Amino acid sequence: MIGPSILSCCFEVDEDVKDLFVETFENLKVMENIKLGNKKDGKQKYFIDTMGINYKEMLSLGLQKEHICLSSICTKCNKDWMHSYRGDPIENGRNIAFICLKGD
């Protein structure tokens, strides 16, 4: 399971962060996961689909599609019941999940 996490609807970044993603994951064609946003205060903004990039990375490492589950919950859009630093940088917490295999 990937997520819940901030999704591309809310993960807005400046060009320097966008460039880090492109450089770090250059083997994954991440420009497909980056959308052009508006300019704010003269700075070009970008929206990054980090979940899509994580999905591509898992596939590149050999995981099978049917073994990967993507959450469609954006933590910032749902900050009333999920923790989100970007949703509330003052009163935020952390989201934690525990996973285990059930034995016989």
Burial grade of 25 (CB within 10 A; 0-12, 13-18, 19 or more): middle
Find the binder of Zn ion among 10, 13, 70, 82 (CB under 5 A): 10
Instruction: Tell me: does residue 76 bind Zn ion (CB under 5 A).
Output: yes
Q: How far is the CB of 20 from Zn ion (least distance, A)?
A: 21
Of the candidate spans 21-29, 41-49, 71-79, 96-104, the one that interacts with Zn ion by CB under 5 A turns out to be 71-79
- Distance set, CA 4 to CA 7, 42, 63, 79, 90 (Å): 8, 32, 19, 11, 20
Instruction: Tell me: does residue 73 bind Zn ion (CB under 5 A).
Output: no
Distance of alpha carbon 15 from alpha carbon 25, whole angstroms: 15
| Pick 77 or 82: Cβ nearer Zn ion | 77
Instruction: Tell me: does residue 77 bind Zn ion (CB under 5 A).
Output: yes
One character per residue 51-70, x = contact with Zn ion (rule: CB under 5 A): --------------------
Q: Token pair for residue 36?
A: 């052009």
Distance of alpha carbon 8 from alpha carbon 88, whole angstroms: 17
Residues interacting with Zn ion, by CB under 5 A? 9-10, 74, 76-77
